[in-house]
Amino acid sequence: MGICSSSTNIAPTTTHNLSSVTGSSHTTNKTSSTSISSSGISSNVSGNSQFSSVSSGDDLGPGGQILAHPNLKIYTFSELKSATKNFRNDTILGEGGFGKVYKGWISSSVIAVKKLNSESMQGIEEWQAEVNFLGRLSHPNLVKLLGYCYEGKELLLVYEFMQRGSFENHLFGRGSTVQPLPWDIRLKIALGAARGLSFLHTSDKKVIYRDFKASNILLDGVS
C-alpha cells in the first residue's frame, strides 16, 4: 500500500455495537485521518419511524458536530448496482454481520456500498438506526455516511471510500503491496482514533463504540 498524508477514520460497521450510557444510546466507529467504521449501534428507533431526526444539533468542538437532521443522498438500487458492477465479487472490500461491503464508482467518485444480507440477523430497524443516527454525525475522524437505498427488500448504505484500507491490514497483512508502518505513524493513527472516540464519548448523546479494533480503523492516507 502506498504512503501519503496521514488520515485515520473509524469505519462504518453495524448498529449492534453502539450503545449509550443514557436512555438515548448510539454507537459508531471512525478516527483521525484515521476513521472508525460504524460497526454497531443500539438505538431506540422504532420500526414505525422512517428516518426521523432525534434532537437538535449540538456543536462538539473543532470539526465535530451532531446535526439536527440526517443530510443524506437517496440512491436508487440501479445506481448502486451499476456502481459496483452488479455487486461483482472482485469489488468486495469486506464482509460482516450486516452483509458485504463493495467498492463502487459513481461519476468520478469512489464509494463503499454496504448491502444487507437477506439472511442477516440485523434487519430494517438497525438499518434505520444507522441512517437516522450516523447520518447526523460529522467529524473528521468518523467515516462519513453519504446516503442510502431502500427499494423493496434491498437495504444499502453508502459511505465514503477509505483508500488505504484497514489498520489491521497494515499491521498483519502480507504480500509485496503491504508496507510496515513506522512507530511514529502508528502513534498518529492511535491519536486520530482517540479523537474520534472522544467526540463520540463526550457528546450529549453519550455514544459508546463497542467494537473498537484494528479492522474497524480505516485509513485514507498515512504519513
- Please write the tens of the pLDDT for every residue from 113-122: 999 887 766 6
Is residue 69 one of the residues assigned to a domain? Answer: yes
Domain of residue 34: give its range: 7-221
For every residue of 26-69, DSSP letters joined together read ------SSEEE----------TT--S---S--EE-STT-EE-SS
Which pLDDT score is estimated for 202? 86
- Please write the tens of the pLDDT for every residue from 73-103: 999 999 999 999 999 999 999 887 778 999 9
Is residue 131 one of the residues assigned to a domain? Answer: yes
Q: How many CA atoms, within 13 angstroms, populate the side-chain half-sphere of residue 167?
A: 30
- 211 catalytic? Reply is yes
The CATH number linked to 168 is 3.30.200.20
Out of 58, 59, 184, 211, the active site residue is 211
Which pLDDT score is estimated for 87? 97
More confident residue, 215 or 14: 215
Domain count, the chain: 1
User: pTM of the entire structure?
Assistant: 0.74
pLDDT band of 133, cuts 50, 70, 90: confident
Q: Are 106 and 76 in contact (CB under 8 A)?
A: no
Is residue 175 one of the residues assigned to a domain? Answer: yes
Is residue 138 one of the residues assigned to a domain? Answer: yes
Is residue 1 one of the residues assigned to a domain? Answer: no
Side chain identity at residue 50, one-letter code:
Q
Residue 196 to residue 30: CA distance in whole angstroms: 6
Is residue 2 one of the residues assigned to a domain? Answer: no
